Amino acid sequence: MKKVVILISGRGSNMQSLLEAKLPCEFVAVISNKADAGGLKIAQQHGIPTAVVSHRDHADRAAFDMALAEVIDSYQADLVVLAGFMRILTTPFVERYRGKLINIHPSLLPSFAGINTHERALQEGVKIHGCTVHFVTPTLDSGPIIIQAAVPVLRDDTPAKLSARVLREEHRIFPQAVRWLCREQVWLNSDGRVATNRLEQPGAALISPGLS
């Protein structure tokens, strides 16, 4: 059974969706860069060991990443999951965990990388928005995509309304991505592309606004 470490910075709703999904893995630790992250308490309630590696205790990103990697490696992690971890990781850190490091992002990448994705989606007037789980690479929010979910953007949407709709889908696709990885049904191949031994399933198109 694969050992999984989760990295968080805040309340940990995506982390909680993983812990409650009965996945075929062992969650060996939840690590935060903030001692007051709400997700740490949730992890403890699930009996998961927690640790804090504060970025403020280190001189630069490289030093922080090195300290973080030492803690991750102490748990012999097979998979490192970024669940609302709000730090940009250095290239050496990312390369250390190549093919083992995944992130969830609240947009349909490659659109709206970075922050404030819902506000930007509304400003641009897109009709379909969503979320993405992807392997992490040195370029921010640009790694190979594992799974995405799309939602319609509604006429009266606000960033908060759109965020809530997308978050529901995040809680669906994040556990699915981890499940595939733990079952070795999805992996990053030597060419840096997502490979899978799963059968593709054709589905219905999402058209927004609807045709009539």
Note the pLDDT tens digit of each residue in 57-79: 999 999 999 999 999 999 999 99
Average pLDDT taken over every residue of the chain? 96
Q: What pLDDT, in 10s, does the model give residues 27-44? A: 999 999 999 999 999 999
pLDDT band at 110 (very low <50, low <70, confident <90, very high): very high
Residue 194, judged by CB atoms within 10 A of its CB (0-12, 13-18, 19+), counts as middle
User: Hey, what amino acid is at 151?
Assistant: V
User: Hey, what are 170's tokens?
Assistant: 């995040």
pTM of the model: 0.95
Is 116 a residue whose pLDDT tops 80? yes
Neighbour count for residue 126 (Cβ, 10 Å): 16
pLDDT band at 208 (very low <50, low <70, confident <90, very high): confident
pLDDT tens for 130-151 read 999 999 999 999 999 999 999 9
HEC profile for the chain?
A: CEEEEEEECCCCHHHHHHHCCCCCEEEEEEEECCCCCHHHHHHHHCCCCEEECCHHHCCCHHHHHHHHHHHHHHCCCCEEEECCCCCCCCHHHHHHCCCCEEEEECCCCCCCCCCCHHHHHHHHCCCEEEEEEEECCCCCCCCCEEEEEEEECCCCCCHHHHHHHHHHHHHHHHHHHHHHHHCCCEEECCCCCEEECCCCCCCCCCCCCCCC
- Where in the sequence numbering do the catalytic residues fall? 105
- CA distance linking residue 169 with residue 150, whole number of Å: 8
- pLDDT value of residue 76: 97
CATH number of 2-192: 3.40.50.170
> Does pLDDT of 95 surpass 80?
yes
